[in-house]
């Protein structure tokens, strides 16, 4: 069997086009131009790249972006005070604090200081809490896990009653992905570094979400034939044939898994492009809510 390839790039492009249309309609109807404030603390090069990409995508969708940069030496007070200013700014509908924050800053306190109406990353403890509770709905859902769910649905996965295994329990990917699957009535197992017989657990899954950060750890013979596999991992693998000396691969051994799975996301071009698309959608929803 050869898996269907879930084209995250194409699905994200469709979603971004829909957001651009939604934004044009909102503004055309006299509503506000959605605005996203980005807060970048310190000089982590990867964070700078991510924020640049997010701002470019905003511009393409007709969303204003307001960049704010603080030095790595910024105090907790300075970061939270910037967030409070943005909370009060009516042009700003969404606030994105790029993680990780430099050592010494209290990430939880910063995320908590974001107004939940502007928490377009969905990391505020109230939004995560609502995601975890039955019968409650968060205002925003974290973008990467939400992107995983969009990909599964677009690929035609039946979530209700499915056995889903999420490998990884981070606050930003694994745990919210598991909570979203529970909301879709899947039966969910969450695995982590202390899980016993990981291959055996993964083999039971109709749906696998891999969010580990370990190069090609999930092998083809761990995958149940026909399973839907969503690979969130982004890892560098040495490759002397490339200019950079490396290429990006996921947490799943793609070449093996593609022979067994029913559907699978590639890396790159799978989950990665979805994160920004969902951020744009969340920002548009935040602006629509104020209109």
Residues forming contacts to ligand NAP in the complex (CB under 6 A) are 144, 167-170, 172-174, 191-195, 198, 211-214, 232-235, 271-272, 275
Please say which residue, 74 or 252, places its beta carbon nearer to ligand NAP.
252
> Could you tell me the smallest distance in angstroms from the CB atom of residue 99 to ligand NAP?
9
- Closer residue to ligand NAP in complex, CB, 101/172: 172
Query: Residue 104: left if φ>0, alpha if ψ -120 to 50, beta else—which one?
Result: left
Active site (annotated) includes residue 183: no
Residue closest to ligand NAP when measured from CB atoms: 170
Across the strands, what pairs with 231? 210
The distance of closest approach from Cβ of residue 33 to ligand NAP in the complex, given in angstroms and rounded to an integer, is 26
- What is the spatial distance between Cα 234 and Cα 119, in angstroms, rounded to a whole number? 25
Residue whose C-alpha is closest to residue 9's, from 276, 283, 280: 276
For the question of residue 239 being annotated catalytic, the response is no
What is the rounded distance in angstroms from the CA atom of residue 90 to the CA atom of residue 118? 11
Please give the angle made by the CA atoms of 36, 40 and 41, to the nearest 5 degrees: 150
Q: Which of 7, 64, 119, 121 is catalytic?
A: 121
Distance CA(111)–CA(218), nearest Å, equals: 32
- Beta-bridge partners for 70: 41
Q: How far is the CB of 57 from ligand NAP (least distance, A)?
A: 13
DSSP one-letter code for 98: P
Taking the least distance from each CB to ligand NAP, the nearer of 203 and 214 is 214
ω into 126 cis (within 30 of 0): no
Measured distance CA(258)–CA(2) in Å, rounded? 6
Exactly one of 98, 119, 231, 251 is catalytic; name it.
98
Q: Smallest distance from the beta carbon of 127 to ligand NAP, in angstroms? A: 17
Q: Please, which residue, 134 or 194, has the CB nearer to ligand NAP?
A: 194
Identify any residues that bridge with 5 across adjacent strands, giving them in sequence order: 264
Is 98 noted as a catalytic residue in this protein?
Answer: yes
Please say which residue, 58 or 82, places its beta carbon nearer to ligand NAP.
Answer: 58
What are residue 246's DSSP bridge partners?
238
For the chain, give the longest Cα–Cα distance: 57
For 143-154, b/e burial (b = at least 16 CB within 10 A) is bbbbbbbbbbeb
Q: Quick one: 115 or 195, whose CB is closer to ligand NAP?
A: 195
Instruction: For the CB of residue 151, give the shortest distance to ligand NAP in the complex, in Å.
Output: 11
Catalytic residue among 7, 54, 206, 231: 54
Q: Is 268 exposed, middle or buried (0-12, 13-18, 19+ CB in 10 A)?
A: middle
Could you tell me the smallest distance in angstroms from the CB atom of residue 270 to ligand NAP?
8
Tokens 């969450």 belong to 190
Annotated catalytic residues are 54, 98, 121
């Amino acid at each position: 069997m050869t898996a269907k390839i879930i084209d995250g790039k194409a699905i994200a492009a469709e979603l971004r086009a829909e957001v651009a249309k939604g934004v044009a309609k909102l503004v055309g109807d006299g509503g506000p131009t959605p605005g996203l404030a980005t807060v970048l603390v310190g000089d982590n090069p990867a964070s700078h790249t991510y924020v640049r990409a997010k701002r470019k995508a905003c511009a393409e969708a007709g969303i204003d972006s307001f960049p704010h940069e603080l030095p790595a030496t910024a105090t907790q007070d300075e970061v939270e005070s910037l967030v409070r200013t943005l909370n009060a700014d009516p042009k700003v509908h969404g606030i994105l604090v790029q993680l990780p924050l430099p050592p010494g800053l209290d990430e939880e306190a910063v995320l908590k200081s974001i107004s939940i109406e502007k928490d377009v990353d969905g990391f505020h403890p109230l939004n995560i809490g609502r995601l975890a509770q039955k019968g409650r709905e968060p205002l925003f859902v974290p973008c990467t896990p939400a992107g995983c769910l969009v990909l599964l649905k677009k690929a035609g996965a039946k979530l209700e009653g499915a056995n889903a295994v999420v490998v990884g329990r981070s606050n930003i990917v694994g745990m919210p992905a598991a909570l979203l699957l529970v909301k879709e009535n899947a039966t969910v197992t969450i695995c982590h570094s202390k899980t016993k017989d990981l291959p055996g657990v993964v083999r039971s899954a109709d749906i696998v979400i891999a969010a580990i950060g370990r190069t090609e750890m999930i092998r083809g013979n761990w995958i149940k034939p026909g399973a839907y596999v969503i690979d969130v991992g982004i890892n560098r693998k040495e490759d002397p044939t490339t200019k950079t000396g490396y290429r990006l691969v996921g947490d799943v051994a793609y070449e093996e898994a593609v022979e067994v799975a029913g559907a699978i996301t590639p890396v790159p071009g799978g989950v990665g492009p979805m994160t920004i698309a969902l951020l744009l959608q969340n920002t548009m929803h935040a602006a629509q809510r104020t209109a």
